Structure 1
Amino acid sequence: MDLRYALSEIRKNGSNVHWWRQRLLTNVVSKYFKTYREADSPPIHECDWDTLIILDACRYDLFEECYPEFDLSGTLSKRTSLESGTPGFLRENFGDEDFHDVVYVTGNAYVSTLLSSNQFHDVIPAWKDNWDDDVQTVTPEAMGEVAKRVAEEYPDKRLIFHFVQPHEPFIGEKRVGIREQSAIRQQALGKEAPAHAKRKPTAFEQLDRGKLTKQAVWDAYRSNLERALPVVSDLLTEIDGKTVVTADHGNSFGEFAKPFPIRVYGHPLGIYIPSLTEVPYFEYQNGERRDITAERPKSRVSEDMEVANERLRMLGYAE
């Protein structure tokens, strides 16, 4: 690190406890976990499924609390995610390997920016083609429609449906932490957007700063999952074969990064604590298993990286 830059940042942010926490999590805590933590789960592609539904940022305890209300008949167990954020999840589970028997439908633009489309038989960018400008995300209902269409188009492929929910923005019945629409609109139009320091904080940043209560954020988080689960339930009975519902990582509501006395909010990378790595693994089988065949990747025009990055900024992943 450039010493002059480091000193400049300390002078500018030295009295900001939230800034220090993020620096410690990134430069100390995550390095500790990467050094001493031993992964006890196989990559998700090695698990037994025909269809994989990924609920972005869904904690195990949240899913366990909600799923009985939505008639999801199946077997729930707990899985330890290999990472605490989507970029790490993609890297650890897929890396640079090829999965030409898989079609990946994603509402999360990271899949298109961090993985090569040629790794899979096909990648369907719902984050680009099914974006809802009113709520600044891909709704679960839109994802469900794309999922059904893709399941009909590719009956002999393993399918991955990567939902955005319950990750922010919270678009369920209860909503908190919504970003200014003007800023999002400026980004969507490719115009200059407010600098990081001027943007409205996310719900988890507001929780960290005492501007929102833990209960208010949890209720909105739960409401976001509740909006997605009816779509998930529908897909379980619509798509043949064995379906697994899981998550890439969880969310932290101020739990300590043990053994460090540092509280964690949201889902920073490399922080392997239960609130971030304990995720659901829900198994359901509908009829006979599908016969899966690997084929050469479909030829697709490369995705517009700038559009992908705009979508990520809107979702709060990047600034």
Structure 2
Amino acid sequence: MPVAIASVLLSGGSALADNEIGGGAQAPTPSTGAAVDGSTVSVTAGGVVFDRSKNGRGNSVGALTSSTSWTPPPCWYAPKYTPEQLKKYLEPIWEAESTGYQWDAEQRDRFVNGHPYKDFNKDKAGEGYFWDAYVNEDFPPGWDSCKEPIFWVDKGDPPPATIPNAVTPEILAELAYAQIRVPGTRVSLAPAQATKVNLPTWAWLDNAEFKPVSVTASVPVIGIQATATAEPVALKLEPGTADAVTYPASGVCEIRNGRIGEPYAKGKADQTPPCGVKYLRASEAGGSFPLRATVTWKIHWTGTGGAGGNLPDGTFGATQNVVVQEVQAVNR
């Protein structure tokens, strides 16, 4: 039987529905047990429990796009079966004889005849778990990276060093990163309804919405966890036309004193906004310019045993229409 097919049969897709270890689910996806705003307290997927209670909320939340080519792990290994659960999963496959005599015989030899596991390791029930691969279907092809057959790990022991992608706090942090949802990037503008040609338009973000968000991923049965936290650090403005200038000139407004940009206040008409845009021509009658606002979020993580570090920055943006009018002259 081809190795790839055997791997699929032994890994993930048809996991036990009552599998309390692996959760009976595949990889985490944005819709797995989550509310629209991502505020679900916890949900189990792919053998991992996600706590999203500190995630971004609201109808306009969205996933981050990495500033590099980085993507979450396509697959990982984690506890999936007790001895009884593995027996319940494999024996119907063998009885169906759909995988071929030779392959079935090899698997019976591995898990029943003692090479290396005797009678599904029932004598070690409660002392460990069989680990298997979980595939992140959002980032295929995951099976190409996780082809190891199901293996046993005693409680308290690390998985074999020869197993790639065995779950660690860092892998959990990467999976948590993929679950982070941040608020939509609609900036406040002054003037709010329509701006004028050559008039500096102030731009800023609502401090109440743009604050750190985080997701925690854990595998409780082996006592490891990691929290990935996203903090807004900068706003990039793209006016939607070459006939405009931005403040600052780079169009990137850094976070200062805990906020991005500054709300306009009476008496500041003659001041240059710390964050904003000035249009040099009017938009067409009945039209507007598509102002693109993108927030950069810095990602760091902490995990079991003092582990921690940084992950690539993420971005999330949105476009809003800005009407620009000519200044009306008054004839006397």
TM-score scaled to structure 1, two decimals?
0.24
TM-score scaled to structure 2, two decimals?
0.24
